[in-house]
Amino acid sequence: MLSKKTKYALKALINLAGQPPDEPVLISELARLEQIPRKFLEAILLSLKNAGLLQSKIGKGGGYFLAREPRNISIGSIIKVLEGGYAPVQCLNASNNPGCDECNDFSTCGIRLVMTDVMQAISSVLETTTLADMVERSDNAKQANANVVDFNI
């Protein structure tokens, strides 16, 4: 289950995706628009910047903007920053692998073997879907709604 933090991050990025990259957006502006606690959002944006997904400009006229085009930012890469990966069990996270407490034999653990398949399935979606796709799908849905309204009128 995505944490609130991750959802906040996605919302902020969706917002920034609709903004020209030469017009930085203020943290406080983003917080207000997306209804995210300002200080909490600060920390989120900083993580995204440290991960190379965002850039920032300090001082007057500063703010945040996307480091690359929305179609070059996968949803998976975003989630990895906020949640540290999307493995259904700890022992499948590539690096920092402390293994599972409950597991006596890593190599034959049935849970891990099945969860490897699950993770693969998740990956295949998250790695191929981009921020641009997410925005596009939302826009399409809005368009569809608008058409229904037109029809009813």
Partner DNA sequence: ACAAATGTCTATTTATTCTATAGACATTAA
Partner DNA sequence: TTAATGTCTATAGAATAAATAGACATTTGT
CB closer to DNA out of 58 and 153: 58
* Least distance (Å) between residue 83 CB and DNA: 7
Name the CA dihedral angle for 28, 46, 86, 134, rounded to a multiple of 10 degrees. Answer: 50
Residue with Cβ nearer its own copies (4 or 68): 4
Candidates 26-34, 122-130, 135-143, 144-152: pick the segment binding DNA (CB under 7 A).
Answer: 26-34
The SS3 assignment for 25 reads strand
CB neighbour burial string for 106-117, b if at least 16 within 10 angstroms, e if fewer: eeebeebeebee
Footprint (CB under 7 A) of DNA, residues 47-76: 49-50, 56-64
Residue with tokens 């440290």: 50
| Contacting residues toward DNA, per CB under 7 A | 3-5, 8, 24-28, 37-40, 42-43, 45-46, 49-50, 56-64
